[in-house]
Amino acid sequence: SCQKKKDKSNEWFDAECEELIRKKKEARLKWMRTKLECNTVNYTESRKLTTKILRRKKTEWIENFLENLENENKNHSKLYQYIKKQNRRKTFNNIENSEWIAHFIKPSTEERNAEMCERRDNKNIDNNSETALTKVEYEEIIGNLKNKRTSGPDSITNEMIKYGGKKIVEQHI
């Protein structure tokens, strides 16, 4: 599948931001280990400072970017380059060759349908063999069905089976 890779090269994110985040993580780990009041206060202050500086740097970068756009409004090619640069998303194709080969070599639908029919016939043969369930086993299984579950492809709910009476058990035997 193709995945979008998050572009982590934000122009506003610099070494100072990395250092603040590293210090905040250290303060958090210290607080998590000890749970002391002084560490709680230290972590809270570190978190506030980090958030404040990161917001300030990002807003400054956005203001600077918009100012550059306004200055370049006469030069359309540079304007579109700025916009294109901000809107681009990098995608990488992570599908390996073996997956492509397996996908295209899958058996055709006719072969799959024939295989499914064969399985169904084998199930019918198994049902008629000695392993068929008895009336008591059917009643026990039906009694253990849980209410308020979604119905199967036949739209028959568990409640219909449970409260259907002896006719349902006799039909399956």
Out of 101, 117, 151, a domain closes at 101
For residues 127 and 133, the answer to whether their CB atoms sit within 8 Å is no
90 and 57 belong to one structural domain: yes
78 and 146 belong to one structural domain: no
45 and 87 belong to one structural domain: yes
pLDDT in tens, 92-109: 667 777 777 776 676 566
74 and 152 belong to one structural domain: no
For 129, counting Cβ atoms within 10 Å of its Cβ (0-12 exposed, 13-18 middle, 19+ buried), the class is exposed
Predicted pLDDT of residue 1: 44
Predicted pLDDT of residue 124: 60
Q: How far is CA 38 from CA 12, 23, 24, 48, in A?
A: 32, 16, 14, 15
Confidence band of 31 (pLDDT split at 50, 70, 90): very high
**Higher pLDDT residue, 124 or 145?**
145
3-class SS string, the chain: CEEEECCCCCCCCCHHHHHHHHHHHHHHHHHHHHCCHHHHHHHHHHHHHHHHHHHHHHHHHHHHHHHHHHHCCCCHHHHHHHHHHHHCCEEEECCCHHHHHHHHCCCCHHHHHHHHHHHHHHHHHHHHCCCCCCHHHHHHHHHCCCCCCCCCCCCCCHHHHHCCCHHHHHHHC
Put simply, whether the predicted model's pTM sits higher than 0.95 gets the answer no
Mean pLDDT in residue range 81-89: 76
pLDDT in tens, 51-69: 999 999 999 998 998 888 8
Predicted pLDDT of residue 91: 63
119 and 36 belong to one structural domain: no
Q: What is the span of the domain harbouring residue 49?
A: 2-101
Predicted pLDDT of residue 9: 59
Mean pLDDT in residue range 126-134: 62
Mean of all residue pLDDT scores within the chain: 80
Confidence band of 142 (pLDDT split at 50, 70, 90): confident
Give residues with Cβ within 8 angstroms of 169, minimum separation 6. Answer: 135, 138, 139, 142
**Higher pLDDT residue, 29 or 72?**
29
Cβ neighbours, 10 Å, residue 74: 7
What's the CA dihedral at 126, 128, 130, 135 to 10 degrees?
120
Mean pLDDT in residue range 72-84: 79
Q: In the chain, what percentage of residues exceed pLDDT 90?
A: 27
Residue with tokens 């006469």: 74
125 and 84 belong to one structural domain: no
